Structure formats: structure tokens, C-alpha cells
Amino acid sequence: MDNTLTWVLVGVLVAAVVVGGIFLLMPKDKYIEVDGVKVWKIPNDAEIIFVDQSKASSVKTLVQKGQLIAFEGEAQGLGTTQDREKAKIRAYQKIAEFLNAKVTTFAQLVEGQLQNVQVSGSKKQELVSASVDAYKRVTELFAEGRVSGAYEFAAWKVRRDNLVYTYVLLVYDPAQILKLIEVDALVKQKIDELGKQGVNFFENLNAVLQEATKGTPMEKK
């Protein structure tokens, strides 16, 4: 009986050692981090080539407040500077693609704001239409990579056979999007007019973009 118990204990111990060894040998998740705060999950074999330290504190705060909105762009090639630029443009295009898919959501948010505004039905529809026009123009600016409210925060490379995949992480900062009105005179005029009528354009834009965090590495970390 004692021998049986001994062998059982030995078996349990060996199993624990094996499981523990496997766990230690398994690759750990890798992240873009700021002072220990996880910002974005990346492949375990990724080589981090850039982190904008001047934005690190701001990004850390956004993560801690649950307000980080970021888009990842990718380019295939030899890992050149040009590839990194292509990846950045692709990230801007992803923002535009996301916004294009959310036109109806944006219009509904504007309609919600106008519920407390005393205007006729036709005037309300005009305001919604004007808001959507401005929204679409902002989408175009993102697609062209001309919006100052999004900046490159990090970049990394992953080697696969003879190819190098270059990635860029663009961070959208709600505090900086106000600079958008300086980019395009038409957008500035429309947004100013909408503000006088009770439409908070940037609040609605931020609400739409906040949906972009769902199902991304920000939720999976």
C-alpha cells in the first residue's frame, strides 16, 4: 500500500514537472508597452523598430482610461523605409474604411443630439445631411493620410521566409482631432455652422471611432 502511494505521488510530481516545463517553454505573448502598460499585442517573433517616446505618456493615459483607439497597417517587402510608409498609409485607409461603414451610425447619433433642438423636420434633415457630408469629408482626409489627429506611435517587423512584414500602429487621439478644422476650410465652415445648431460633430465622430476598439488586440490583451 505504501509503495503504491509512493508511486502515485511520484507520478503526480513528474506530471507537474512536465506540465510546468511545457508552460515555461511556451512563447510568451509580446506587446508594445509603455512603463509596463500593455498597449498593443504583436507576434512573439516581432522586432520592434520604433516607439514614439514623445507620445508614450499620452498613449499610456489613453490605455488606462480605456480610450485608446488605434489602427494597424501592414506592408510586405524587404523591411525598407518605403514599406513602413506604405504600412502607415494602409493604417490611415483602415480608419477611412471603418468610418465609411459607419455612416448610418453617425447619422443616428446626430439625430439623437437634435432631439432636444427646436427645429422643423425639414431643417433637422438638412442638419443631418450637412453633418454626414462633413463626416464623409473627414473620411476622405483619413484615406489621404492628412489628418493630424492620428499619429504613428509604433512600428515593428516580422520575417517570414524571404519576406519582411512591416507594421505600423496609428493612434487616434481625441484631443488632437480638433486640429482637423485647420486642414480643410470646407470642413471648418460646416462644423462651425453645425455647432451653432446644436450638433457636436467631434463628440459623434469620437463615439463612432470608439467602436473600432471592439475585437482588436486592445480587447484581447
pLDDT given at position 65: 87
Counted residue by residue, the chain has a size of 221
Hey, what amino acid is at 3? N
Residue 9 lies in a domain: no
Residue 44 lies in a domain: yes
Residue 137 lies in a domain: yes
Residue 8 lies in a domain: no
Q: What is the mean pLDDT of residues 184-201?
A: 86
Q: Cβ(42)–Cβ(156) under 8 Å?
A: yes
Q: What is the pLDDT of residues 38-87, one digit of tens each?
A: 999 999 999 999 999 999 999 999 899 888 889 999 999 999 999 999 99
Q: What is the pLDDT of residues 83-126, one digit of tens each?
A: 999 999 999 888 888 888 899 999 999 999 988 777 778 888 99
Residue 23 lies in a domain: no
pLDDT given at position 187: 81
Q: What is the DSSP string of 1-58?
A: -HHHHHHHHHHHHHHHHHHHHHHHHSPPPEEEEETTEEEEEE-TT-EEEEE-GGGHHH
Q: What is the mean pLDDT of residues 26-48?
A: 90
Number of domains in the chain: 1
Residue 140 lies in a domain: yes
The pLDDT of residue 12 is above 90:
no
The pLDDT of residue 2 is above 70:
no
Residue 66 lies in a domain: yes
d(CA 108, CA 121): 15
The pLDDT of residue 4 is above 70:
no
Q: Cβ(83)–Cβ(77) under 8 Å?
A: yes
Domain span at residue 187? 30-220
Residue 18 lies in a domain: no
pLDDT given at position 145: 65
